Amino acid sequence: IGGHPKGGQESVRPAQVRSILAVASGKGGVGKSTVSSNLAVALARQGRRVGLLDADIHGPSQPRMMGVSQRPASPDGKMIEPLHAHGVTMMSIGLMLEADKAVIWRGPMLMGALQQMMSQVQWGELDVLIVDLPPGTGDVQLTLCQRAAPTGALVVSTPQDVALIDARKAMDMFRTLKTPILGLIENMSSFHCPECGHEAHIFGHGGVGAEAEKLGLPLLAALPIDLETRLAGDAGVPVAAGDGPMAEAYARLAERLVQ
Ligand code: ADP
């Protein structure tokens, strides 16, 4: 993750943030938020100063996954103090909204919310700010790419065709917006039965790797369907904070990204 801010006049990129990493997916439910939180924790464990911005406005899951629930303070009513969890500085639109209430916003409001979360949060000095984007190719993605000049994007997909079709659209959007795609991550790649050891490919096999090869992009990780990952996410302590095989897998992903 190199840091070359290139935001223009209207940039909302926080001044003390060296690099911004966008985590995207075509579809929801493929594990984009899970990868974002675990990657953030893995990078922090390797000594990086890491921020995590949950910009998935319609389905913010980072408060749950990172185990935070308090509303961020804003002593002067302008700047917002981010929260800290598992070594990561974080902010989520979900912390500012009422639980169980739908966000019914038009584009300009979505864009305003993202801009506020970038420029009115006291991020402090960060080596990397990971932005957990909404799925798809909408206004939030457009604003981030145009106004914050991300250093690069990671695209998360399952190997299933319906997920890959939409992931291709997300990649096309990044190419159009001139945001470099750093690589693809295949999530829910396989399932190892803990009882009998059989390996099953529930969502198909190798689809993301094949896509990466076709596009000349690296496949940065192939992460299995893993009960610990799901339980840890639900419990608010990402699996990357522990010391099992998934923590190692996320540590390897983090190392690949900072090479
Ligand atoms: P997205 O951000 O793409 O909508 P999430 O990260 O919220 O997806 O994941 C959707 C659900 O799947 C969550 O309950 C999460 O815990 C679970 N999940 C994600 N990745 C895995 C995995 N590799 N193994 C098991 N469960 C996973």
Question: Could you report the per-residue pLDDT of 43-102, keeping only the tens digit for each?
Answer: 999 999 999 999 998 889 999 999 999 999 999 988 999 999 999 999 998 888 877 777
* Cβ of 30 below 6 Å from ligand 1: yes
* Residue 204 annotated as part of some ligand binding site: no
> Is the beta carbon of 249 within 6 A of some atom in ligand 1?
no
Range in 5-9, 34-38, 77-81, 153-157 with the lowest mean pLDDT? 5-9
Is 258 assigned to a binding site? no
- Its ipTM equals 0.99
* pLDDT tens string 6-15: 444 478 899 8
CA of 33 to the centre of ligand 1 (A): 7
**Which of these ranges, 1-5, 149-153, 223-227, 252-256, has the smallest mean pLDDT?**
1-5
Which atom of ligand 1 lies closest to the CA of 27?
3
Q: Which of 34, 190, 192, 227 to mutate to test the pocket of ligand 1 (most atoms within 8 A of CB)?
A: 34
Residues 204-217: tens digit of each pLDDT: 889 999 999 999 99
Q: What is the predicted pLDDT for the residue at 2?
A: 46
Per-residue pLDDT for 36 more than 50?
A: yes
Name the closest-CA residue to atom 16, ligand 1: 230
**CA 59, CA 74: separation in Å to the nearest integer?**
23
**Is 30 assigned to a binding site?**
yes
Q: Which CATH architecture has domain 17-258?
A: 3-Layer(aba) Sandwich (3.40)
The pLDDT, as a whole number, for residue 1 is 57
In this structure, the residue with its CA closest to atom 17 of ligand 1 is: 230
How confident is the model at residue 27, as a pLDDT? Answer: 93
Rounded percentage of the chain residues whose pLDDT exceeds 90: 80
Of the ranges 103-107, 196-200, 251-255, the best mean pLDDT one: 251-255
Residue 31 marked ligand-binding = yes
